[in-house]
Amino acid sequence: MDKIFLHGMKAETLIGVYEWERQQPQTLVIDLDIALPDNAGAQDDIAQTIHYGEVCQALRSELAKRNFLLLESLAQSIADFIFAQFHAAWVRVRITKPGILPRVAAVGVEIERHNPQKQPAP
């Protein structure tokens, strides 16, 4: 499977179960691996692939407008967003919340999802 990746992307959103976490947006570190269409490199044409710059810009904009309690629901929301906006067949989303626990560098979650709209017929 061919894919693009965005690793170490920083984005801000309101997230957290506790009120003190939700006082202001937090900076998260997001790693994305996104499946490309089979013919993405065949014609050397940006229209035939997924533009990682557009993914980054659109996702940051979306997250700035949203709020979440759990990293798990945020990760699912990102996967759904990638499927809806960029029609990818598969995505891996890893979110790191740095510095939230004492003496722990980062906590996070990682999910992999297949787009139900792109599944091969049985």
Query: What is each CA distance from 10 to 47, 63, 69, 87, in whole angstroms?
Result: 26, 11, 18, 23
- Type of residue at 72: E
Nearest alpha-carbon partner for 106 in 31, 23, 5, 4: 31
Q: Are 35 and 89 in contact (CB under 8 A)?
A: yes
Residue 3 catalytic? no
Strand extents, DSSP E, 36-98? 67-68, 90-98
3, 10, 65, 97: the active-site residue: 97
DSSP codes, 82-99: HHHHH--SEEEEEEEEET
Catalytic residue numbers, as ranges: 97
